[in-house]
Structure 1
Amino acid sequence: MKYILPSLALASLSLANPIPETAQPPSFKINKVIYGGSGCPQGSIDVDFTPDGRILPIYFGKDFTASVGPNIDPAQSRKNCQLNIDLMFSPGFQYTVYSADYAGYGDLDSGVKGTVKASYYFSGEQSGASSAMTIPGPFTGKYTKHDDVSMAVWSPCGSEAMLNVNAEVALTPLGSANSGTLVATKESARFTHSVYIKWRQC
Structure 2
Amino acid sequence: MTVRQAGERRAIAAALGTFLALSLSVPAAAAGATAEAPTTTAVPSGNITVQVVANNGSGCAPGTASVYADANKTGFRIRYTDFLAEAGGSAAVTDRRKNCQMSVLVTVPAGWTFAIASVNYRGRARLNSGSSGLHRTTYYWQGSSRSDSTEQEFTGPFNGFWSSHDVAPVLVYSECGSERILNVNTELRVDAGTSTSRSSLSLRAAEGDVDTLFNIDWEQC
TM tier, shorter chain? 0.7 to 0.9
Aligned match of 1:65: 84
Q: Is the 8 A contact 1:96 1:198 kept in 2?
A: yes
Larger Rg: 2
Q: Is the 8 A contact 1:128 1:153 kept in 2?
A: no
Q: 1:147 aligned to 2:172?
A: no
Amino acid across the alignment from 1:94: T
**1:55 maps to which of 75, 87, 106:** 75
**2:182 maps to which of 155, 160, 163:** 163
Give the count of matched residue pairs.
Answer: 182
Aligned match of 2:119: 100
TM-score, length of structure 1 as denominator length: 0.76
Aligned match of 1:46: 66
Give the gaps of 5 or more residues in structure 2. Answer: 1-39
Q: 1:181 aligned to 2:200?
A: yes
Listed one character per residue, the Cα deviations across residues 54-87 of structure 1 (whole Å, up to 9, x for unaligned) are: 12111110x2010112553322111121111112
**2:41 maps to which of 16, 34, 37:** 16
Q: Percent identity?
A: 29
* Alpha-carbon distance change, 27 to 104 in structure 1, aligned in 2, over 3 angstroms: closer
**2:132 maps to which of 113, 117, 120:** 113
RMSD: 2.8
Listed one character per residue, the Cα deviations across residues 109-162 of structure 1 (whole Å, up to 9, x for unaligned) are: 223221122111000001010122211112112222223233463334432111
Q: 1:86 aligned to 2:99?
A: no
**1:36 maps to which of 56, 68, 79:** 56
CA shift, 1:35, in A, is 1.4
Give the gaps of 5 or more residues in structure 1. Answer: 1-14
Listed one character per residue, the Cα deviations across residues 75-114 of structure 1 (whole Å, up to 9, x for unaligned) are: 2111121111112223454322121122222111223221
Q: Distance in 1 between matches of 2:158 and 2:136?
A: 18
Bigger proportion of residues as strand: 1
Q: Is the 8 A contact 2:50 2:76 kept in 1?
A: no
SS in 1 for 2:41: coil
Bigger proportion of residues as helix: 2
Amino acid across the alignment from 1:85: V
CA shift, 1:185, in A, is 3.1
Q: Distance in 1 between matches of 2:120 and 2:191?
A: 23
Q: Is the 8 A contact 2:131 2:194 kept in 1?
A: no
TM-score, length of structure 2 as denominator length: 0.70
* Alpha-carbon distance change, 116 to 193 in structure 1, aligned in 2, over 3 angstroms: same
**2:153 maps to which of 124, 130, 134:** 134
